[in-house]
Amino acid sequence: MTAAPPETPEPEDEAADRRLANIALAVMLLILVGGGWWLANALFEARKADECIASGRRNCNPIDIKPR
């Protein structure tokens, strides 16, 4: 009885798997960078408001109201 040679995946399958993994990693990286950008902007705005309030000023975060 002879053992069958182990099956090797087709090169096209490996390329497709690699391509799918690269796309998934790129999407995750974009989400991570976008989340970091949003967080940095939110922290910057909070710091500006905190400095405004700490200096004793009023109306640090004005609310825009449309006229009727």
pLDDT in tens, 21-63: 999 999 999 999 999 999 999 999 999 999 999 999 888 877 8
What is the per-residue burial (b if ≥16 Cβ within 10 Å, else e) of 23-55? eeeeeeeeeeeeeeeeeeeeeeeeeeeeeeeee
pLDDT higher at 11 or 16: 16
Does this model's pTM top 0.85? My answer is: no
pLDDT for the residue numbered 50: 92
Helix intervals (H) in the chain: 11-54
What is d(CA 37, CA 29) in angstroms, rounded to the nearest whole number?
A: 12
pLDDT for the residue numbered 20: 94
pLDDT higher at 7 or 54: 54
